[in-house]
Amino acid sequence: MKSFEGNIVSISDKNTVIVEITRKTPHPLYKKLIKSSKKYKADTNGAEFVLGQTVRIVETRPISKSKYFKVVESSSKKVEKKAAAKPIEKTETKKTEKPVAKKVPAKKTVRKAAK
């Protein structure tokens, strides 16, 4: 029986949550760790969950067309996303105007008539 641990990304119905599982696997040749993630729909049996909560899901018989996992246990850990950076306040400074280059019209080429 497969079991995974991941974070709740969405609560789509009263009995369904979408859990994102993130894995780190080494590249076959270069051995650099690569992050890969996959989303699974999981049944909650009416329990209430919060976005970002860490849960453990276990594979079960198919409950619906796309739902074949159940939430077994949930931890009280809630993963919070980083807050957006505050914009930097601009201070008034004197702007020096740069000289603007003048556009010179292109020279017209005159073709000689063919004889």
Average pLDDT over residues 88-112: 70
Answer whether residue 74 is part of any domain.
yes
* Distance of alpha carbon 8 from alpha carbon 21, whole angstroms: 9
Answer whether residue 115 is part of any domain.
no
Maximum C-alpha span of the chain? 92
Answer whether residue 112 is part of any domain.
no
- pTM, to two decimals: 0.63
Question: Residue 26 has what pLDDT?
Answer: 97
pLDDT in tens, 70-88: 999 888 665 554 444 455 5
Mean pLDDT of the chain: 84
The strand pairing partners of 10, in sequence order, are 18
- How many distinct structural domains can be found in the chain? 1
Highest mean pLDDT among 63-67, 76-80, 104-108: 63-67
* Structural domain harbouring 12: 3-78
Q: What is the CATH number of the domain that holds 49?
A: 2.40.50.140
DSSP E strand boundaries for the chain: 3-13, 16-26, 33-43, 53-59, 67-78
The tokens of 70 are what? 């159940």
Answer whether residue 17 is part of any domain.
yes
pLDDT in tens, 14-52: 899 999 999 999 999 999 999 999 999 999 998 999 999
